[in-house]
Structure 1
């Protein structure tokens, strides 16, 4: 167990209890956010010169899994907000100093979807748009937003050029009533709005440069973590959270079934069908964990040896990552169906794990269609084009 995970494990009971509060507040409870700060979860991939942990990506994923097994929303915020310092390390040093120069515990939110338009002006851009799903945003002071470069009329240029735009909290508005959902409620993944804010050019990164590895190399970074593919690192925290939620659901189910007696009078631990479901689900969740971690280990080792991860390898890695999430959630379905009516009660955490697991699959990073298509095509000697290259 890594040092950060060991520290956060000391607060496991408090984080579990605060999950109920977050579910009601529809944002991460202040106490949970405080414990993530105290233990350094969000800083694991942050530059060491700004108090970062210099963690291996595997350790980051294992920590996210561990937190998500306590409470899904807290794990989800750990995985998403925790990956942003990795990208901020590619940005202009002035941006890093603006964010962390006075307080290296400042958090950065997202989303990356290009739901706004950045219109060029002298020295930078003006930005307008509305973005959904900014997880953990109430606890963040900066945000990374995806935007298409616009023309003089504010219309996206074609073919599109997509930027990652970095803004301080004073430049955007959080829409408080925009997050009322059935799962991952405690993530507070609210909408943010920008209405004409000026963005200096140094606070932008080209999306393609981040995706193809140009950005970290241009920033002079040489360590293997920085040179890992974006399409491995960005999904890592999200899928790790889903797998951790599945692990939490399994632990919850086992604890509830240990002394449970069915209405027929039979002890559940003597029911061969329930035992089979537990065994099968445990194996599937463990396989999901192993598959995700094996990919990140292999990519890290290859990057450390000075090799570049090919498009085909990235596509297969994304296939593995996406399949791992779906496999883990299907396993949750199997045990939830055998948890008895008690699992439906809001006073028990099983229903929240079930809701959070399914909500996690709804993230765009877990849509399998084009990913499975692209990975298969590369193995058949083809060259995916257009949308088949998205998020790979």
Structure 2
């Protein structure tokens, strides 16, 4: 149990994350080349207590809000996009674990207080009911952080002979990590597929969708209501944080740069305007993330669901924040010239990472913007899913 005297303030925790930016930035090339998060990054984040933000107090956590996780993620992503993605995704997964009983939570955190929980979605295969649990075989897709995780949560899995989805919590040691995440951006997240072969999942580690989870009622606030309205916000925070990091690098580079004719590039008005517009877009994107996550937490902190009209705005705003961040980095990337195209340059790496981040379904502007427009106009018909898969 974490006593209140051992819990840092949200501001202090965010400051700890900010202090890691230089170290994280120094390892971004290695992160991409090795296609995994450097262990030094994780060790520093564990030491700072960042993964404790949403963890329950009985298991050493701080029980802070999703808004704090967004602030932490903004900082970490400014240093390293892939590491920020793991912070934003896996940092929120204690909420998944609290769907299960205290005994199951103890299995996760008592042996290893720093246990990371990834997630995945079954794209082929199914589970079948057996005495005492379920047996599953198949492929679980895109499990960010799987190389560092101890457990993974899988929702929406098929059950043979049933139309109800199954949610499970499974040790990573029970599955095989397939080397599938060979991508142009966010390569360091290690979002590989997982293969299960006749894996037994005890009843205590599973519950059927639409039923009351075994851990329901153990905690209040965020753990009681969930995070459906806030799911895309840590992902948007990654994209915005990455772009903010690129802008910082761009500004520092411009200060000392001269043209081939010996002119100070910093004196070019066109670049000054590009910097100003990108900075304003990123300020607006950060304001959307921080304001909206706090608005949602006001409801969630009281144990209330976010009203539908506010929920609709939250979902579209998260996507729009990432759109602003994409515009911001495109503007400075194309101002960098041919010299920024080399694969050892930081801004081109961040540019690719931002494109990869925005490919996440919850941040897809075409989908989320259309959904909001249909909702605002009162149009009937099935909308696209709004929550991240």
Q: Which TM-score applies when normalising by structure 1?
A: 0.89
Asked if 2 retains the 8 angstrom alpha-carbon contact of 1:164 and 1:206, the reply is yes
* CA–CA separation in structure 1 for the residues paired with 2:124 and 2:283: 36
* CA–CA separation in structure 2 for the residues paired with 1:382 and 1:82: 36
Query: Is 1:326 matched up with 2:323?
Result: yes
Unaligned runs of 5+ in 1: none
Query: Is 1:243 matched up with 2:252?
Result: no
Query: 1:116 deviation in Å?
Result: 4.2
Query: Is 1:111 matched up with 2:109?
Result: no
Distance 1:66 1:208, change over 3 A: farther
Counterpart position of 1:219 = 217
* CA–CA separation in structure 2 for the residues paired with 1:369 and 1:216: 37
Distance 1:13 1:134, change over 3 A: same
Residues matched between the structures, number: 379
* CA–CA separation in structure 2 for the residues paired with 1:12 and 1:252: 12
Query: Is 1:391 matched up with 2:370?
Result: no
Deviation per residue, 1:159-184 (Å, 9 max, x gap): x4222211012211111x32221111
Q: In the alignment, which of 375, 380, 384 is matched to residue 378 of structure 1?
A: 375
Counterpart position of 2:155 = 146
Asked if 1 retains the 8 angstrom alpha-carbon contact of 2:118 and 2:151, the reply is yes
Query: 1:383 deviation in Å?
Result: 5.6
Query: 1:390 deviation in Å?
Result: 4.8
Query: Is 1:131 matched up with 2:128?
Result: no
Q: In the alignment, which of 195, 199, 207 is matched to residue 197 of structure 1?
A: 199
Query: Is 1:161 matched up with 2:164?
Result: yes
* CA–CA separation in structure 1 for the residues paired with 2:207 and 2:326: 34
* CA–CA separation in structure 2 for the residues paired with 1:271 and 1:304: 49
Classify the secondary structure of the residue corresponding to 1:339. Answer: coil
Deviation per residue, 1:125-146 (Å, 9 max, x gap): 1112212321111111101123
Classify the secondary structure of the residue corresponding to 1:42. Answer: helix
Query: 1:318 deviation in Å?
Result: 0.7
Distance 1:135 1:287, change over 3 A: same
Counterpart position of 2:346 = 349
Asked if 1 retains the 8 angstrom alpha-carbon contact of 2:152 and 2:172, the reply is yes
Q: In the alignment, which of 36, 42, 45 is matched to residue 51 of structure 2?
A: 42
Counterpart position of 1:252 = 249
Query: 1:50 deviation in Å?
Result: 0.6
Classify the secondary structure of the residue corresponding to 2:256. Answer: coil
Distance 1:115 1:44, change over 3 A: farther
Distance 1:10 1:302, change over 3 A: closer
Asked if 2 retains the 8 angstrom alpha-carbon contact of 1:115 and 1:146, the reply is no
Asked if 1 retains the 8 angstrom alpha-carbon contact of 2:55 and 2:95, the reply is yes
Deviation per residue, 1:220-255 (Å, 9 max, x gap): 4322x2245432332222111111101111111111
Counterpart position of 2:190 = 188
Between stretches 371-380 and 50-59, larger displacement belongs to 371-380
Unaligned runs of 5+ in 2: 1-9
